Amino acid sequence: MGLTVEQQDFLAAEGRIVLCAVPGSGKTFIVAKKIIKYLEDWRFPHRGVAALSFTNVASDEIRNQVSDTTYAYSDIGYPHFVGTLDSFINNFILLRFGYLMQKENRTRPVIVHENFSKLTFQSKYAVCHKQMCTQHPEWFHWSTTKLLKKGKIIDCDVSTKPCVLYKKSLLKRGIVFQREAPALSLLLIRKYPQIAKEVAYRFPVIIVDEAQDTSCEQMEILECLAQAGVHTMILVGDPDQSLYEWRDATPEYFLKKMNDINWRCMHLSCNFRSSQLICNAVQPFSSILSKPGKTPALAKGENAAFASKPVLLQVPKGKSKCDIIEMFLKMCCKNGIAISPQNVAILTRGKIHSDIISDAWKTPETELLAKASYLWHCSDRKEAYRTCEKVLYEIEIGNPIGLSRNEITVISEERFTPTLWKNKIINLLKALPNPILTLADWEEQMTMSISQQIDSDTIKPYDGKCASDIIKIKSRDKKQPNFKEHKVKEYFEKRVETNYTLSSVHGVKGETFDATLLIVDSTKGANTLTPAVLNSGNLDTELIRIAYVAMTRPRKLLMVSIPKTKTTLSRFSTALWDYQEL
């Protein structure tokens, strides 16, 4: 396949580069190509290319692209690094040099990803308890200046805040939550510029994919590294596809870099995925492409000329989700699209299952075991094994806080011998109930089998707990009284593949389908997609970006369903959209 001029320019470019890539522009492909170009004549045995992305899925994608293209790079290892931006910062800055934050008893820091082990802190102030702060130390995280609570300034009138004291003591012991890792890393390289220099020497080339999802601190770290001597730093992204606000991501910093004179801004503006009709229809939803003077992305793929106008489906009251789907699948058939999970995707804004609650689990062991049940029967058995190992550790040995997976294994094997420990885990795995059971049935079966294992001495809780202390599920919920009647798997499923793919928008980021349906089923509610938000919501908001990502997935057929409305929808001009009613 011939490369476009834009792609060729990018391959040749060195220095500080921001690459702004529209959906379907083949960005992963060209990034992989750029990486291979480096690998082909790499001459430093102990310095490498860092290929970073926002999620593990995305970085695996890069790895696969590189290894699929050239057999010689089937395993990109030392001296290079492929992984998430988080793991890069953790491994090469915070974990390795974080001991410098401690005055005495220096240790390598530990990064805690979830508050599995019920960390709590003491407070004599009522407000701390009333606001549930003492129960949720994971809400608190350091910024470069002060302690924040869930991203915001701590709003209470306690003068000597117990949360601050507690977090300081954690820091002294080297315990860090992932959310604050970038801020602490940034502080570290500001105080020790030689670290930035050394990392820049270690990685003369750093490529960051999905750079629109970097947080303020992450971007600052990248800027520090660039100034500390990284030869080529490339930030690849699309500000219109930033979806991770809840993880402190915001496209603001990427946009800033696009306008920074010290950075060279390049574009990939051809869409190799969608038809021109789709490209035209989604233009009003892109903050970049809808600017005055900008044109829709130019469709250049094999389906560029596919002549199916995107459909805006108005759904009258009384019609169900099933009706919408039926209609959509019919449209697919009309357009000659075979129904399969690879070809057809139905997307929603949030959870794919409604009527489930987020706080059903009353002990960490319960949640872990439920997750293990799902993993073991439906998804990743290896991960299920590891999850069971963690539960067993928690039951038999104690709090695993701050321990890595390997450390848990080493400690347990020393305690029980490797064979015995393995057998214990396997016994537990075998006893995991099937997650197609309802929550209520699962609870009963799980409690029974744990209780049996305790009776037969297969499991010996270190604190003498009984099975019903270990397995605990919320008994009632006002909003969702029937939550216990839902299947366990619904609590963990992010994506279902039957004869089509049913997923949240987040779950299909970066993917391509022949046909896509975005279901918008609310008319009101904060942080919810509604026709009003779609039509007049600020293009810089995440909700619009979520819709944009969904609408830019299909090659041939795009359908958006909304509750029927009488107002004119200016962003859905009839020239570009085919209005239909169910």
Give the binding site for other proteins (CB under 8 A): 44-47, 78-79, 92, 95-97, 99-100, 106-108, 192, 194-195, 198-199, 201-202, 414, 417
DSSP code per residue over 531-572: HHHHHHS-TTSHHHHHHHHHHTSEEEEEEEEEE---S--TTS
Query: Cα–Cα distance between 415 and 410 in angstroms, integer?
Result: 9
User: 109 or 296: whose CB is closer to other proteins?
Assistant: 109
The least CB distance from residue 55 to other proteins, in Å, is 24
User: 239 or 402: whose CB is closer to other proteins?
Assistant: 402
**Which residue type, as a one-letter code, is found at position 180?**
E
The least CB distance from residue 260 to other proteins, in Å, is 28
User: 71 or 78: whose CB is closer to other proteins?
Assistant: 78
CB neighbourhood size of 375 (10 A): 22
The least CB distance from residue 410 to other proteins, in Å, is 9
The least CB distance from residue 190 to other proteins, in Å, is 13
User: 38 or 201: whose CB is closer to other proteins?
Assistant: 201
Exposed, middle or buried, 189 (CB in 10 Å: 0-12/13-18/19+)?
buried
CB 557 within 8 A of CB 332: yes
The least CB distance from residue 99 to other proteins, in Å, is 4
- The alpha helices in 70-180, defined as continuous H runs, are 85-89, 95-97, 126-130, 162-172
The least CB distance from residue 74 to other proteins, in Å, is 18
How, if at all, do strands 501-504 and 495-497 pair?
Answer: antiparallel
User: 38 or 416: whose CB is closer to other proteins?
Assistant: 416
User: 80 or 509: whose CB is closer to other proteins?
Assistant: 80
CB 274 within 8 A of CB 303: yes
**Nearest partner of 375 among 422, 432, 431, 459, judged by Cα:** 432
Query: Cα–Cα distance between 216 and 224 in angstroms, integer?
Result: 12
User: 13 or 101: whose CB is closer to other proteins?
Assistant: 101
DSSP 3-state assignment of 39?
helix
The least CB distance from residue 192 to other proteins, in Å, is 5
Query: Cα–Cα distance between 238 and 297 in angstroms, integer?
Result: 13
The least CB distance from residue 102 to other proteins, in Å, is 9
State the first-to-last Cα distance of the chain, in angstroms, to the nearest integer. 42
User: 417 or 536: whose CB is closer to other proteins?
Assistant: 417
The least CB distance from residue 92 to other proteins, in Å, is 8
User: 191 or 494: whose CB is closer to other proteins?
Assistant: 191
User: 420 or 466: whose CB is closer to other proteins?
Assistant: 420
- H-helix or E-strand containing 187? helix 181-191
The least CB distance from residue 77 to other proteins, in Å, is 8
CB 141 within 8 A of CB 180: yes
Within 8 A by CB and 6+ apart from 362, the residues are 472, 473, 474
